[in-house]
Amino acid sequence: MKKNIIPAVRLTLVCFVFLCGVYTTAIWAVAQLAPGQGEGQTITESGKTYHENVGQRFTQDKYFWSRPSAVEYDATGSGGSNLGPSNPVYLQEIEERIKHFLKHNPEVNRSEIPSDLVTASGSGLDPHISIQAANVQAKRIAGLRGITESNIRKLIISNTEKPFLGLFGTERINVLKLNLALDKLNKIEI
């Protein structure tokens, strides 16, 4: 028995030092090279600080709406609904989101609604929407803010993020950045 206990204790100590010390320090060091030094990317606007890499709820009609969240945009509980695409509860939820969107955007046809405006991402915290999701909301926002639709579309184009290295991913728009730019544009045009 003594023959097995001493190697087990040694292995435990080695694992403890490596996993609690070396590995943790290495991850911390890599995080220091990332934007925000591992604290997340933030934007400070009008004295308020926002996390730009975490999805946020925008429900007012004068703003671009975010992608729905299965976790109510709570970064401490990231996750999806885990309901399959044929689950009746999930299908009812999607139908309610479609009806809500059409109620606030009566000029849009049901077939024009991009899926990212009615389905949550796997994390429930996606801060981005597609270009189509932004464009389909342009008419509503232009009418409510008194800004021309062409200026809204220019704002969408100027806030479009290209794929990483031009290869990985798709074009997308950070909703928080777009809405902050929208507020700035509205102040200029008024």
Q: Report yes or no: 99 and 117 within 8 Å, Cβ to Cβ.
A: no
**Average per-residue pLDDT for the chain:** 88
Domain spans of the chain, in order of start? 1-39, 40-189
Give the helix/strand (H/E) hosting 88: helix 88-104
**Mean pLDDT of all residues in 60-78:** 87
Of 94, 181, 176, 172, whose CA–CA distance to 135 is shortest?
172
pLDDT digits (tens, 9 = 90+) for 161-182: 998 887 888 899 999 999 999 9
Q: What does DSSP assign to residue 113?
A: S
pLDDT at position 61 is 92
Query: pLDDT tier at 188 (50, 70, 90 boundaries)?
Result: low
Q: Which of the pair, 29 or 96, is modelled with greater confidence?
A: 96
Query: pLDDT tier at 190 (50, 70, 90 boundaries)?
Result: very low
**Mean pLDDT of all residues in 127-151:** 93
